[in-house]
Structure 1
Amino acid sequence: MSGVALSAEIVADLYRAACLAELDALKVGNVHAYAAGHRMEVADFVASAEVSAPHLARAGARVGQRVRGGVEATISAVGQNTNLGILLLCAPLALAAETAGRLQPILSAALAALDETDGADAFAAILRANPGGLGRAKRHDVTAGGAGVTLAAAMAEAAPRDRIARAYVTGFEDVFRIGLPALDAARHLGLSTAWTTTAVHLAFLTSVPDSHIARKHGAETAEQVRAEAAVALGGIDLRSEPIDALLAHDEMLKRAGLNPGTSADFTVATLFADAVSAARGDVR
């Protein structure tokens, strides 16, 4: 039978594995096993995955509770925001994993059911994490605390300017349309696990402007980073394991202070969604 419910222990293990697999891959502009960056080290992300996993996978918890608990544990452990985007993307998937049935419809139902308590917890988590380039919004501004605002409404308001928020109103379209197909294609080529992860990251980096870069440096810069990556890396053959070419692009982005963090967040979410689907026996 496909779509079996998963225990909290399994969900936590799959989440940790997705976080660690993402770190093992060469993801240009991000922190990874080949190079640190942006004043962060791989060890910070390893610790973050470990301490946030129990909160992310807490049985019966709402999405907002999972995000807030994970962020609080992370800040206490490493003293900085390393995984807010990861938690925002993985929390709905973790909740959906607890229910038997087809993953996508269950995920869509969970996103539609997000309420004011989810909004308050998520807003508190975002304020605690204090992500770079947060800025101010005309409606549902996070600094106002989110009182009386459903998380679904807040994400719908932010969706035009933030790719993670957009995921909440599109049923995680980017994961299912960009990430998972890229992962399947990379596996079909016979790439090793780390290089399939690189393929997923490149798919996001070259397909859509990175929201983290857009928040900190503007939409025009985010599009420029996407276009340059598409030209330089879009057709690269990962079967040759082109470490030098990728590291050159990695160094260029880091030297300019450009961190495609949202692309990395979606990479983790893709790996997590794939692992959850496999463990549940889902057919894609």
Structure 2
Amino acid sequence: MASPHPALAQRLREAFVWACELDVAARKPGNVSIASPGHGMDAAHFVASAPAAAAALCEPGAPVGRRIEAAVAATWAVVQCNTNLGIVLLCAPLAAAAERWVPARGEAGLRTALAAVLRGLDVDDARAAYRAIARAHPAGLGRVAQQDVHAEPSLDLRAAMELAAERDLVARQYAADFADVFATGVATFRAALAHTADPVAALQRTYLEFLAAQPDSHIVRKHGAEAAQCVMREALAWRQRARAGECVDADPAFPAWDESLKRRALNPGTCADLCVATAMAAAIVDGVDKLRVNP
């Protein structure tokens, strides 16, 4: 395959950085945003992480595993904490897929290219991703019987992710060709953007859709399934109001819920990671300039 054009690499970097900045611009209850720090971090950590990781993540022609490992290393060099492991794990295959994608084929073409990237992952990708995960050391990372990240992998990265798909939403994307990112995330984001013309509000709406749909696996790892189910139940009414077109941010109870989750140390970080992947996928297909304009 020919090397991607430098202009494409720049477009991918812009899409990734924009998605990361949009993520913290939107109040996402329990998660860090410009409006509300939490969990020992603030928005500045995430804003600094995005350009630090972007060059490695979007390195033309690089294998997915190398993108992941280098992006995590670059992030740690700047902020010395784990701000974006899940984001990088999701966005690295998207960046690789975009290099194979034919823009005239639209979203369907990007999904086809992504499926091919995921099928082509190998053991070297798994080794590099495992090293990145071990370095980032996400909260609640335990031990498992098969393909534990603390050991040398013997399977390719997709096969290893398939083993974790039932307990981890990021792993599930690898196993299911990013079905949640596109069918739930991009579809919700586009519909909300058409209604509000505001990408921040559209991403907030997308976050509520993810949060109310399934237990957040970051919360499950740290606090157990019941805590994650509780947060999911709390999100249902907010999702319903957002679906009805309400600006939930205008209700003082919404930031109060945000602060309540943070007081309980409940961070739906995986749902936030899915939002970044959603925004990046939409930006790849539609272009950042089209999405960032807020009439």
Q: Normalised by the shorter chain, which TM-score bucket?
A: over 0.9
Deviation of the 1:191 alpha carbon: 4.4
Q: Distance in 1 between matches of 2:174 and 2:188?
A: 21
Query: 2:253 — aligned with what?
Result: 245
Structure 2 residue 264 is matched with structure 1 residue 228: no
User: Cα deviation per residue 1:162-216 (whole Å; 9 max; x = unaligned)?
Assistant: 0100000101010111111211221232242211111111111111110100111
Q: What letter is aligned with 1:193? A: P
1:169 to 143, 160, 175: 175
RMSD (CA atoms): 1.7
Return the match for 2:225 from 219, 234, 238. Answer: 219
TM-score by length of 2: 0.90
Percent of residue pairs bearing the same amino acid type: 43
SS of 2:27 mapped into structure 1: coil
State how far apart, in whole Å, the 2-side matches of 1:157 and 1:254 are: 31
Structure 2: how far apart are the matches of 1:90 and 1:100?
15
Aligned-partner residue type, residue 218 of structure 1: G
Q: Deviations over 1:103-146 (max 9, x none)?
A: 01110010011100000000000000000001111100001132
Structure 2 residue aligned with 1:80: 81
Distance 1:137 1:106, change over 3 A: same
SS at match of 1:249: helix
Alignment-derived partner of residue 152 in structure 1 = 158
Equivalent position of 2:133 in the other structure = 126
Matched residue, 2:106? none
Contact 1:189 1:239 (C-alpha < 8 Å) held by counterparts: no
Structure 2 counterpart of 1:98: 99
Partner of 2:116: 109
Q: List runs of 5+ in structure 1 lacking aligned partners.
A: none
CA distance in 1, matches of 2:275, 2:139: 19
Q: Which one-letter code corresponds to 1:39 in the other structure?
A: G
In structure 1, C-alpha distance between the alignment counterparts of 2:90 and 2:132, rounded to whole Å = 13
The answer to whether residue 262 in structure 2 is matched with residue 254 in structure 1 is yes
Q: Contact 2:241 / 2:248 at 8 angstroms: preserved in 1?
A: no
Q: Which moved more, 1:97-106 or 1:227-236?
A: 227-236
For structure 2, list consecutive stretches of 5 or more residues without a partner in the other structure: 103-108, 289-295
Distance 1:244 1:162 in 2: 32
Q: 1:240 to 1:47 in 2, by over 3 A?
A: closer
**Contact 1:126-1:142 within 8 A present in 2 as well:** yes
Q: Which residue of 1 aligns with 2:144?
A: 137
**Secondary structure, in 3 states, of the residue corresponding to 1:100?**
coil
Pair 1:98–1:177, CA change in 2 (3 A): same
Q: Distance in 2 between matches of 1:168 and 1:156?
A: 7
Cα distance in 2 for partners of 1:115, 1:61 equals: 13
Query: Which amino acid in the other structure matches residue 9 of structure 1?
Result: Q
Matches of 2:238 and 2:199 in 1, distance apart? 23
List structure 1 segments (4+ residues) > 4 angstroms apart after TM superposition. none
Q: Secondary structure at the match of 2:241?
A: coil
Distance 1:68 1:90 in 2: 12
Q: What is the SS of the residue equivalent to 1:202?
A: helix
Find the aligned partners of 1:246 and 1:90 in 2 and give their Cα distance. Answer: 29
- Distance in 1, matches of 2:23 and 2:248, equals 20
| Matched residue, 1:190 | 196
Q: Using the alignment, how far apart are the partners of 1:158 and 1:197 within structure 2?
A: 27
Q: How many residues align?
A: 276
Instruction: Give distance in 2, aligned partners of 1:240 and 1:160.
Output: 31
Check conservation: 2:34, 2:42, Cα contact below 8 A: no
DSSP 3-state at the match of 2:118:
helix
Distance in 2 between the 1:211 and 1:44 partners? 22
Amino acid at match of 2:247: R
CA distance in 2, matches of 1:52, 1:100: 22
Tell me whether 135-144 or 187-196 shows the greater mean CA deviation.
Answer: 187-196
1:120/1:149 contact within 8 Å kept:
no
What is the TM-score with the length of structure 1 in the denominator? 0.93
Cα distance between partner residues in 2 of 1:238 and 1:51: 36
Whether contact under 8 Å (1:124, 1:145) holds in the other structure is no
